[in-house]
Structures are given as structure tokens and as C-alpha cells.
Structure 1
């Protein structure tokens, strides 16, 4: 969608610049034939120019230093992720569909108007008998708006005598329109307006082109008579009538300009040359603004030899803020800041960065995080980028944990670009390591991470440090450090794209470098032995029966349903990060959370015999017994 909007913007800019030059230097001057072709040229150039792309990169031919990518052992982390299925009809298309409907409606209105004009001309040809004069057909009518010409037909008004001096001048006027193919100009202009009806400059061009046609025809119609006599005819015969958009009626609303043009002195050649010679300057300015992509070389010399497109997904958004700090800062805000920084610096590296969200709301202004995840993947898959990068930040109850983490699609999943994703992660690891601590490349097995596993292109997720660690937080909140990380990401994107294209300057070192996480760094979402309430299901049910209190507000409104809670059972059996995932309302969610907080210690999850932190989801169902 964005490329189309960019094209439309460039078309508006180029037509505005070129028409502005006409308005200042050429309008109502006596070089009418030049103006005619200039206006037609504006239509063509403004539509074609935005399609051209010339890269001015200051003679930087895409410098990529010799780079060695060290292979890195991937740490497998078990986790379930979000169990969401892609629906064949996504909300991604809503805004695009609305724009298409508006555009189609505009074209429909244009066709309707064009059809009315053509039907009237066709009706008059059937009603009135035509008189052949060489290759021209004259229809004698008493219709309003006549006389006028359309291609090789003249629709004459019998109230004007053809044998009178005024009639002869009017006929020469219409004959000139026919000989010079002015109807073809207007038809072409109408078709341009039909397709680009939203461009206000095209309507101005049409009006000016019609005026120029009249100036040319008036000059021819004067013949050996004086301009004042011809102007007198215009004044005498001028009437105010509704005219057809495709025709050249002799009496029309440009009367004052036509008379002025008949009486002004001929143009001076010096003035003509000065205006014409200014055209290359204006055309060059328009060309540079619209067609050229000017790109500065990147600081490290990592510039792609050919354009690279990546999709950057700022995690969370809207009702899903992610990690939230006491000072109000959220994960979704920082992820968006980093993503925007990547996009703003992309042109320096010849990288086109497409963002899944531009503000703090969910993508496509959705309200459901699950639907937003669908949108992210559908959007990226429709673009087919070289890489999908999801930007997140980490968090933990242990504020001493720090460092960056990279996640790739699960190796036992359906992803078809696993090796390419791993290569991208390895490159990013190498680029980030000199500036920040990187804890390694990881994968979640079982159900993995949705946006990675469902991607149809190479994909990876980056955790830009721990927000819960003071050092990581202070580092990433600084704009200059966000720029540093953004540049490292863009360098990695360039190196990855060049490696995929077979650039020998980017090599793989087969000597593995192993990274192992420290104890307690990983929070599992699926473990060999999941956490449970001490005593099992019966003990948990008994605890709920004795502790749970049905909120009075829910009783009064007869609200029932299931509250889904998410929380972490830590290796030391305590609970943390309790959140309400789904809530029927009327106080049920808060009551369920209160009960869980009062439940005490749970038996922790175990992985390979060791107690580990584990994320767990627990439903609590509220039910009212009805009295009959």
C-alpha cells in the first residue's frame, strides 16, 4: 500500500511544480502552441516521472568490508507461544478496501459524467441531418451550447448564419479546432482526470488547455479582420449556457481572457526566451525531488549494492503494552522508538524499512493482540521482505539479568527459511557484540513464537536488553544508543542480503562459538514437568471453594464465565507477574487474581530434574446456581 501512496504523493508534487511554472511564466502569454504542448506534457510527465528511480549515492558503489560470520550454537528454550490460527479473511484489508472503494466511486462518477457528454453528442447526430463538407460533417441544430466542434463534426446553431461575416469567423474558429485535433487533447485530459480524479491540478490543467485552444482558434478566425471587430462579435454573441466538457463551444466563460488575448501586443522574443530557458531549471528541480533517491553513505560503509527491503515489527502496542516500568515507560513505547530509528536510517544503507505499526496502537488500529499478530504476519508475507525483524525488550523479577537475546524460528517447526534466519541472527550477533552484551541465539520449541514460525521469509526476534535491569534500561532509553543499535541492525540486514546474494565478501566461519545461559535466566512456557498447586487438582478446588467470594456486582447482573490468569511460578515456588488475560467483567477478574495471590507457594516446574521458572496459565470458572 505504501508504494502506491508514495507514487500518488510524487505525482501531486511534480504536477504542482510544473503547473506552478506555467502559472508564473507562461499563462496568458502569446506563445499558445508552446503552452498547449507544455500542458499536455505536464500530464504525461507527472504520471511517468514518479515511476522512475535513479539512485544518487555519492559514488558509493556499495562498500562492504570483508566480514566473517561465526556460527553460534542455538539454545533451545521450550515454550508454547500463542495458539492462534490465521483466518483466510484478515482485518489487514479493511483500510485498503475502503480506499479502493473511495477510488472506484470517484472513477464511477467520472465515467457517469463522460457518458452523459458522449450520449448527448450521439443523440444530436441521430436527430439532426449531417451535411458533408470535405472530411467534415456539419449538423444544423437549434440546441443550447452550439455551435461547437467534436473531432470531425461541427454542431452548428441555425440562428447563426453561415454566410454572414460573423458566421464565417465562427466557422473558421471551429474548423481550426478540428484541424488541430483539439478534441483529442481534451479527451486525453478527461481520461487523465478520470484515473487521477483526486489530483486538483489536473482540473486546472484541463481548464487552461481549453483556454489555450480558444486563443489559437481565435487567432486563426480573425483572418484579415481586425481583432476589435472579432472581439465585438464575441461580446454580441456571448451567452451563459451549460457546456459539454468534451466539446469546444464558441461561446463560453473564458470570454474576458479571450478578448484580452486578442488585444495585447505580440510577445517579445527576449521575454519568450527567458521563460522557455527557465523550464530546464524547473524540470530538473522536479526531477530531483520526485525521481531521484539521494542516499548518504553509511558510517561503517555497509551499503547494499542493490536495494534491500525488510519489515520491522515493533512488538506489542495498544492494550498490550508489554513490560511496564514504575515510571510509566513501557516495552511497546521503546520498541516503537527503536523501530522508527531503524526506518529513519534505512536510506543511508540502501535499505527500505517497512514498519508494521507507526504509533503506539496495535497494527491496523486493531484492539485484539491475537488479531494483531495475524496482521503482522500477513502483512510481512504480502511484502516478501529479505528479513522480518520483531523488536522487543526483556524483563525479569531478577533485576541483575541483562543483555540482548536473539530468537529464531523453532527447528522442529514448519518454517522453510530456518537456515537463513539463523544466518541473519548470527550476523546480527556479530555486529551487536562489540557494543552490547549478547546472551546468545535461542529458539522456542513446541509451539514457538508466532510471528517467527508463521513467517514465509527469514525472520528473527531481538530482545533489546532487560527493561528491569537499570543498566540496560538507561542505555536503551538514550536516543544516541538507539541509533547505535539501529545502525547495527541495518548493517546486519545489508550483510545478510549480500550473503544471500552470494557476495564473497561475507563469509561463514564454521568454527562454532557456544553460548550457554546462566542459571535462572530462562523463563519456560513449556517444561518436562509443569508447575502445580500443592496437593493437585482436588486441593486446588478445595482452596477455591473456601477462599473465593463471588462479587456482588456480578451476582446482581448474573455475570458468569471463565477468568484466565497468567503468571510465573518461579524456581523457588513463589508466584510473580500475575496478570488477567481474559475477564468476563463485573469484578470476576480481580477476585480471581486476589485468590491466586493468596494461594501461597506452588510446586515449581522442572526441566531435566532442575527447578526452573515457568510461565503458567490458570483458568478459574465462575458459575451461578439459578433458583426456580
Structure 2
């Protein structure tokens, strides 16, 4: 809508300049055919010049190889990116009202146009037609005649065709037919149907109709006989009706026609007036089409081709934030994203848009799109919003994932450094405490750009201007290039300061688990796209992976054979290591049972089959908030009873039984699923939440994680909220799970088992992301 409004404004300005020149230099001049051509050309130029673009490249003095200035990060407690907005759907605002009004008026003019065509068609059917040298002569008694329409002349029986005046009127209409004036009228009426708000087009149509009459008058009256011309007009009264698409003889003002008939010729003035059109047309053309574009320096990024996904926030039913003027965030996000794709000229950077139009797309689909296209970078484009009464908040900002990884900091820093050149931008990198789904769960370095506050009049005025959107897009592209240059040849591992386990990448895939298998002398690596691979210890060292567990600390009791290799040792339980003493411990599981860390010394390293380390979102998704500091899963060898706490059945792990009816698994090979899969779950829970959307308050916005047990028969029990416990959202989510269909139970070793399930339900704040 914003793009259309700017186009209409440019059309009005362009047509106003051309129409103004006509009134000053060409109106009431005797070169009628030139004026006819000028007015038609002025309309066409006014429509096409605003959409034309000619780039003039100028060299840039900017050093593309400059080192990116790394910026600090700050935490923010705003809500996560929305998946469902209570303001989705039809919203009544100024933009929608204006749009509706435009289409209503356009439909009204279109109806009038077709009604006129129908009336002419009906006249042709009502009265007989006589062919005269390719012209259909139709004699009628209808009001508004005589007039011509394409190759038809509709005559009025009240006028004697064989009289001198009748012959002059007939010649007048013949001139309209020969000059093809009906084409001009059809063209102007079609233009006005869609551009009815442009007053200059109405003036141009009026002047074009007068020029048609001037041309026909000159052809109708021989030897410039002014007396005969006046007698021809005055002996007839005005008709009772007229059609805007026909050439009516008695429609145009008679005074101007008489004056033009007596005009003296002045060739010198005529030529000067016509020649002045050339510089005017050139000025308008270049003013609206020339764009100064910085020339890409030869030393720009030229390394390995990288794929960058540009994600335009919101879309479809999700409008995002809406300004007081009715501007929708989804439209601005898409406009800037398209500019980035359009202006990219680096063959080594491939830009993909997660959405090309106004379509709905949930956050998981956006991340899946990046994964499917093996994205190297992910940049989400949004605009911020403050409270309705707060219009002082303004400026751009960049957000990265809560893990605060080094590559994400590098990407955000590069973008901020570039955006600061064109507009107020926060000099620090933001981190949302609750996280942002498309950032925290992405497969590659990712950043979210808040392109100003849509609630700020100053920011709204800036981001809605087409030229400013191009500046934003260009500087984001420059930031991508700076990042790519700086990142070329960097190692794939990034230490996460806020976690006890490092974040690792390989070929743009995030490592979610490493299982050391000493007996097989290999390592099983799991990635966030669901794939796994087996590698050797040497290959792991080559990739820079950090393997679990750390060396045993003093005080660890070992029950295994003396001299057992260190790499088979279990995680230490004491805190003498100063690098880890200040960090929270992960949770420990032995064969699916959680145990306290002080019980690890009862597990023999020789009895250990494998050790798996989970971190970040993979640990949280499996164990909820308990897994926020990571999880270590220990699998014992079959039929090993070295780990038994005989007096405590809760920690007794039976290695011989394939199925344990009274046991509830926390880790299984295949988790319980909602019938129909994830798509069916989303449809079901959205329906449940939407039914109560009007009853939610601001404290209901966020992610509620519901924990429950899926039994072997698919029924659910022990349903409880682990987050947002006292909210209406938690109640709705728990009720939906309790009263919903039976789940497909989990499986372990090809047997159906009872298992815990953690299910997040997200409700979003339409004012914040």
C-alpha cells in the first residue's frame, strides 16, 4: 500500500508539471495536432516515468576490507517472535478505509464506463445503419445526437442532412472518425477509472476533447468561413444528454471554438513553444528516473558463494505491529526484504526470500526454509513497536540469539556499523532473555533487524520512503559483505559463554549432540537438521570439536580397572576446576534415570557403553528448564548391574528388561507424537487458543511449556505447566492436552513405553516481537 501511494504521488507531480506547461505555453495555440500528441504523451509519461529507474554508478571510497568493529551485547526481556497474534485478521484502520474507498470509487467509474458502452450498443441495435464508404450512418431520434463513435455516426433526424449546415455538421463528424478521436477518449477514460484522484488527468481529458473539436471544426468549414461556422452552431440547440466516450458536436464551449477559428498564425511563437517541451521532458525524465548508486569496489567479497536467507517478518493474517496511520509492519518488512534481493549485485552472495508475497508463515517454516536451502546466513527483517502512548522510542537495533555466539556477534556488529551511517541505530547488540525462535533454533549465524519503531512518527516517515528503503537494503548488503570477508577462513567452533557446553558448527549445521563410543573407537555426531554421522577421533580433532567428558577431577571414586584410559572416565563431580566452579552443573541421567551428581562415583567407567552431551535448545526441548545448563546422558552396557542403589527403587535401573510397565522414560528413541504429526498439532492448538483469544491479557504473552506423560495406550496424565503456571494461556494449553485426542506413544527398543513429553505453546504480543 505504501509503494502504491508513493507511485500515485509521483504520477500526480509529474502530470502536474506537464499539465502546467501546457496551460502556460500551448493552450489555445493553433497547432492542434501537436497539442493532441503532447497531451497523450504527457499522460503516458506520467504513468511510466515514476516506475523507471536508471542507475548512475559512482565509485565508492569505502574500504571494503576494513575490520568489523565488534560491539557489546545487552540483554532484553521482550517477548519472542510471534506465531499467532490476537490482532490477526481484518482490522479497521485508516489504511484499510482508504483502500476500500479507492476500490469503491474505481468500481463506480468502471460501471459508468460500461454503462455508456451499453447505451451506444443499444442505439446501434434500435436504429438501422447505412454503410457509407466504411462508415456506419445511423439515423436516430435520440437525445445527444449527432455524435460519432469509432466508425459510426449517430445522426439526429431533426437536422436536415442535405442542408448547408447539415453537410457541415456531417463533415465535422467525419473528421472525428478519420482522426480516430474515439481511441483518445477510450484511453483517457480507462486512465481516469484507475487514476480518478489525479486532478490533472481530468484537466487533460477536457483539453483533449477541445482539441478534437478544433481539428474537426477546421475540417468541417471550408475557407475558414466564420459566418457559416457560427450559423451552423447557433441554428441548433444543445442536446439533452451526452456520453464521455463519444464526440458530441454541441458539447464543447462554443466561445473557445469561435475564438480558435479566428486565431492568427504566428509560426515563430509556435516553434519556440513546441521546442521548449524538449528540455522540460528531459528534466522530468531524469528527475524521476536517475538513481545515484555507489559502485561496488573491486575488492568486495569474492570468496566462496554464500547463501543468505532474508526473512520478511509476519505476513498473511499476521499484520505485526500497526502504526497510528494504519501502516502494517508486514508490508514494510516485505518491502525492505525485496529491496535487499533486488539490489544485490555480488555474484558470490545468493539472496533468498523466505516469503515473496503477503503469505502466512510460522517461525518453524522459516527456519526449515533456511535448512532446506543450506543457508549460510539468516537475517530477519522487522520493525519495532512501543506502547501506544510512547512515540519517543525510535531508532534501529539488531538482535541475536541468547547463546550470544561469536559469529552472530560478528554478523550483528557488521550490520550495525553499516546502518549507523544512514540512521539512528543502537550501538550495542540486543539479546532477548526469552529468546527469539528463528534465531535460537537456526542452523546458521542469524540476526534480527528492527528497522525503527513503527510507533515513532519520525521512524515511520523514514522507512516508508522508497529511497530510504534502498539505503537500508544497501547497507544491510554491505554488512553482509563485511561479515563474509571477516568470516572467511574462520574456524567453525564458537564458545558459548552463557552455557556450560560449547556451540559447534560444521558445514553450517549446528552440533546438538556428541556421543563418544570408546568400545567402537568412534564418535556419533548429531546435528540440528536431524542428521547424524560417525567420525573418528582424528576427524573430530580436525574439525575442532570439543568432546565430552572433561578429565576427572580430584576426589572422583573410580570402580573400574586400575589404569583405565582417561577418555572413558565419567564426568567429575567435584568443583575444584576453577574454570567450571562458577557455572551451574548440567543434569545427569543413567539409562534414562536422573541421578544426583554425587552418585556418579558409583558408576564404573568400564560399565559405560556411551556418553551423550546435550546442550542449549536440544537439552531444554527434552528436559524443560532443568536442561537449561545442559544434560549428560550415560548409557550402561547390557546386563550390567554395577549401578544400583538397592534401597531406593527410584534409582534402580534394570538392564535386562525390554519393557518396564511401571517406568516412565525421560529419554526414548522415538518420542510420543500428536496424531497427524506436527501440522495437525499446530492446527489443533491454534484452534483452541483462538477460541479464547479475546480473554487473554498481557501476562499471557510468551511461551508456556506443558509437561505430561503419554502412557502406552496413548492417554495423557500428570499434565502440568512448567512455565507461565498462573496464566490463562497455561490453563488453555493444559485443558487442550487433557481433553484432546490420544497421542501416539513413545517407543524404546521397538517396544511401546510410557514417556514424558514437553510441549511448548506460544502466544504472542502484537505490539512487540
Q: Which residue is equivalent to 1:31?
A: 31
In the alignment, is residue 493 of structure 1 matched against residue 492 of structure 2?
Answer: no
1:100-121, Cα deviation, whole Å (9 max, x unpaired): 3222212211122112211221
Count of aligned pairs? 446
Larger deviation: 161-170 or 108-117? 108-117
* CA–CA separation in structure 1 for the residues paired with 2:419 and 2:200: 49
1:174 is displaced (CA, Å) by: 0.2
Q: Give the superposition deviation at 1:242.
A: 2.8
Q: What's 1:15 paired with?
A: 15
Secondary structure of the corresponding residue to residue 137 of structure 1: strand
Partner of 1:481: none
Matches within 5 A, 1:473-488: none
Distance 1:175 1:376, change over 3 A: closer
Separation in 2 of the partners of 1:432 and 1:109? 46
Shift in Å, 1:495: 2.4
C-alpha spacing 1:511/1:407, structure 2 compared with 1 (3 Å): same
The residue number in structure 2 matching 1:408 is 400
Aligned to 2:65: 66
User: 1:190 is paired with a residue of what secondary structure?
Assistant: helix
Instruction: Name the SS for the 2:235 alignment partner.
Output: helix
Matches for 1:609-620 after TM superposition, within 5 Å: none
Partner of 1:179: 178
Q: CA deviation at 1:497?
A: 3.8
Give distance in 2, aligned partners of 1:269 and 1:280. 18
Indicate how the Cα distance of structure 1 residues 436 and 461 shifts in structure 2: closer, same or farther if over 3 A, else same: closer
User: 1:440 and 1:110 mapped to 2: Cα distance?
Assistant: 53
Structure 1: where are the runs of 5+ without partners?
Answer: 314-355, 394-403, 413-417, 465-487, 521-525, 531-559, 567-580, 584-628
Of residues 344, 362, 365, the one that matches 2:324 is 365
Aligned mates of 2:25, 2:49 — CA distance in 1: 22
Larger radius of gyration: 2
Q: Calculate the TM-score normalised by the size of structure 2.
A: 0.48
Contact 1:70–1:430 (Cα < 8 Å) also in 2: yes
Structure 2 residue aligned with 1:424: 411
Contact 1:432 1:438 in 2 (8 A): no
Instruction: Return closer, same or farther for 1:6/1:527 CA change in 2, 3 Å cut-off.
Output: same
Q: Is the 8 A contact 2:68 2:413 kept in 1?
A: yes
Equivalent residue, structure 2, for 1:111: 110
Q: Within 1, Cα distance between the matches of 2:426 and 2:56?
A: 37
- Residue 287 of structure 2 corresponds to 289
SS in 1 for 2:83: coil
Which of 1 and 2 has higher RCO (CA within 8 Å, sep 6+)? 1
Question: For residues 494 and 154 of structure 1, do their structure 2 counterparts lie closer, same or farther at Cα, with a shift above 3 Å needed?
Answer: same
Q: Contact 1:70 / 1:513 at 8 angstroms: preserved in 2?
A: no
**CA positional deviation for 1:392:** 8.3
| Segment drifting more, 170-179 vs 277-286 | 277-286
Aligned mates of 1:212, 1:309 — CA distance in 2 = 56
Secondary structure at 1:49 match in 2? helix
CA distance, structure 1, for counterparts of residue 173 and residue 698 of structure 2:
81
Give CA-to-partner distance per residue, 1:253-303, whole Å, 9 cap, x none. 42111111111212x1110111111111211221233222356899x9999
2:84 to 83, 86, 93: 86
Match of 2:337 among 384, 387, 390: 384
Q: How far has the Cα of 1:81 moved from its partner?
A: 3.3
**What is the rounded CA distance, in whole Å, between the counterparts of 2:7 and 2:697 in structure 1?**
50
Q: Is the 8 A contact 2:403 2:440 kept in 1?
A: no
TM-score by length of structure 1 reads 0.57
The answer to whether 1:46 aligns with 2:46 is yes
Q: 1:237: how far off?
A: 1.9
For 2:435, the equivalent position in structure 1 comes to 448
CA-based RMSD of the aligned residues comes to: 5.8
Q: Answer whether contact 2:175 2:216 (CA < 8 A) is retained.
A: yes
Taking the aligned partners of 2:259 and 2:240, their CA distance within structure 1 comes to: 21
Residues 91-102 of structure 1 correspond to what in structure 2 (within 5 A)?
95=93, 97-102=96-101
**In the TM superposition, what is the alpha-carbon distance from 1:380 to its structure 2 partner?**
2.4
Q: 1:92 to 1:21 in 2, by over 3 A?
A: farther
Q: Is the 8 A contact 1:425 1:441 kept in 2?
A: no
For structure 2, which runs of at least 5 residues remain unmatched after alignment?
303-307, 314-318, 341-378, 386-395, 453-470, 499-581, 583-623, 629-694, 702-725, 729-769
Deviations 1:346-399 (A, max 9, x none): xxxxxxxxxx99xxxx633399xxxx9xx6468525753655567889xxxxxx
Structure 2 CA distance for partners of 1:433 and 1:510, relative to 1, 3 Å:
farther
Q: 1:26, CA displacement in angstroms?
A: 0.5
Q: How does 1:36-435 map to 2 (within 5 A)?
A: 36-56=36-56, 59-60=58-59, 63-69=62-68, 81-82=79-80, 84-87=82-85, 90=88, 95=93, 97-224=96-223, 226-239=225-238, 241-266=240-265, 268-294=266-292, 363-365=322-324, 376=329, 380=333, 384=337, 386=340, 387-388=379-380, 407-410=399-402, 423-428=410-415
Distance change in 2, residues 1:56/1:505 (3 Å):
farther
Distance 2:102 2:261 in 1: 41
**C-alpha contact 2:130 2:137 (8 A) present in aligned 1:** yes
Structure 1 position 68, deviation (Å): 3.6
SS in 2 for 1:293: strand
Higher helix share: 1
